[in-house]
Amino acid sequence: PDPDRTEREAMLIAQRIGELIATKKVVERDKQTNAVTMRPITYGDIVILLRSMKHKGDDYATVLRECGIPVHSDSSTGYFESMEVNDILALLKVLDNRAQDIPLAAVLRSPIASLPDPEDALARIRIAYPSRAIAFNDAVRRYAHDGKHDDELAAKLRDILAKIDHWREMARRRPLAELIWDVYDSTGYLAFCAGLLGGEQRKANLIDLHDRA
């Protein structure tokens, strides 16, 4: 079907943004020395003001993303539903309370943990300790540390559990934004997401989460 008026407007805006990125520079002033320099414009310098975010914001965001332009819309709920943001939020829940089974499973399934065949790994952990009296988070720690399992999965679990303990300690002493950036840096998660389909948008989402923190 032919694009409607909103889609046509968004496509024209996407074209204009592409022109700005390719040709324009902005003035940047150093806060300490007051020196003025020119630098190429970035996507983060551009803001689109709409009369009604409720009716157009998400439609504009969809078209811009399809054109390869990373965008954040304050009206969009999809931001908090994205895989990469959910992974980090699940990790933060575990750092707040490591006895939470569902967030821990989400972290172990994610690239943050880097488990071999994550779905199979979670099943192996549960099969190893099938009793309902043993919570999933306890089963994970037992598989990693009780000495019965001398395999790659146990080693990977010990590694991610050590990182979680490190981040929990860091969370008590350092600002949340610094903690989140340490997760990105030490796991390579930001670079990993940037390499996925829609990577520029995923990277922008993660940087926005850090900025919010």
Q: What is the pLDDT of residues 112-139, one digit of tens each?
A: 999 989 999 999 999 999 888 899 999 9
What distance in Å separates the CA atoms of residue 7 and residue 62, rounded to the nearest whole number? 9
Residue 76 has pLDDT above 60, yes or no: no
From 170, 62, 159, 156, select the one nearest 118 (Cα to Cα).
156
Mean pLDDT across 147-167: 92
Mean pLDDT across 182-201: 90
| Residue pLDDT, tens place only, 14-67 | 999 999 998 888 888 888 888 888 888 888 888 888 876 666 777 788 888 888
**pLDDT for position 74:** 63
**pLDDT for position 103:** 95
**pLDDT for position 105:** 95
Instruction: Evaluate if pTM is beyond 0.85.
Output: no
**pLDDT for position 53:** 61
Tokens of 132: 């309902």
State percent of the chain over pLDDT 70.
93
3-state secondary structure of 28: strand
**pLDDT for position 100:** 92
Residue pair 111/187 in contact (Cβ under 8 Å)? The answer is: yes
Distance of CA 36 to the CA centre of its chain: 34
In the predicted model, what is the mean pLDDT of the chain? 88
3-state secondary structure of 97: coil
Residue pair 63/10 in contact (Cβ under 8 Å)? The answer is: yes
Residue pair 60/10 in contact (Cβ under 8 Å)? The answer is: yes
**pLDDT for position 75:** 56
